[in-house]
A = this chain, B = another copy of it.
């Protein structure tokens, strides 16, 4: 059994699964590497939400084995001249449009290799202007999983595009951040990491959370610590502060959307 036999490929797109788009990418991958293992990370990135993709990849990739090839097709510029990049960092490969989806990863980890993907030998013969996921990303990922050297895919490059993502700010006894994603359950996921809140907690005994004219007292440890239908702040599974409703939707209760500001305030009692 060759060492690359079970190389994993993950797919992250905003295609949804209602059409055959994702299935076609898998067909192309298996045509080139019949042994590939393909895992859907998600196909419901909010349409063209490059910012959330950048966060999601950063918090997710570590749950996959080293050597995994992460294919990311959140690509508002498909058909334009935006380059496609292959980035290797922490032993993982990321094949993405160069539109900022690597912002958070590249800021926190030193890329070991960056290539601009140009070698049409590893693309499908016919390339549409609307579906590079099928015609470029899928075949390149499959060849890579077959052991093709990244060097053959295109020239080395110095950098990937970086967006200025709003980062949470800690000033005095206050953290200000914002909602970066609303998940299917209506949980409001913020960009405030537990570590930053812990810094505050070391100096102050009490915390309150404020968003959209609502205030919450303290941070719960589990959904079951509050009654059904009640709002709570909790550190979610990505280690980020989330606003949730036990057996309900915080997004509906607060009528809040992505982008909304949130504040954590610390004080002494």
Q: A residues engaging B (CB < 8 A)?
A: 6, 8, 10, 12, 15-24, 26-28, 30-31, 34-35, 37, 39-44, 47-48, 56, 60, 63-65, 68, 76-80, 128-131, 134-135, 183-185, 221-224, 234-237, 239, 247
Say whether B34 contacts A65, CB under 8 Å: yes
Contact A40-B16, Cβ < 8 Å, known A6-B35, A221-B79: no
Say whether A63 contacts B224, CB under 8 Å: no
Say whether A47 contacts B247, CB under 8 Å: yes
Give bound CA distance, A68 to B28, whole Å: 12
Name the B residues within 8 Å of A134 (CB-CB): 63, 237
Name the B residues within 8 Å of A37 (CB-CB): 30, 34
Further 6 A-B residue pairs, CB within 8 A, beyond A19-B42, A79-B223, A130-B234: A18-B44, A18-B183, A22-B40, A80-B222, A129-B235, A130-B223
Name the B residues within 8 Å of A24 (CB-CB): 41, 60, 63
> Can you give 30 contacting A-B residue pairs, CB < 8 Å?
A8-B30, A12-B20, A17-B42, A17-B44, A18-B42, A18-B184, A19-B42, A19-B183, A23-B39, A23-B41, A24-B41, A27-B60, A27-B63, A28-B63, A30-B37, A30-B64, A31-B64, A31-B65, A34-B37, A63-B134, A76-B247, A78-B222, A79-B221, A80-B224, A128-B235, A128-B237, A128-B239, A129-B221, A129-B222, A129-B234
Say whether A79 contacts B30, CB under 8 Å: no
Name the B residues within 8 Å of A30 (CB-CB): 6, 8, 37, 39, 64-65
Copies of this chain, tallied across the complex: 3
Name the B residues within 8 Å of A63 (CB-CB): 24, 27-28, 31, 134
Name the B residues within 8 Å of A56 (CB-CB): 20
Name the B residues within 8 Å of A60 (CB-CB): 20, 23-24, 27
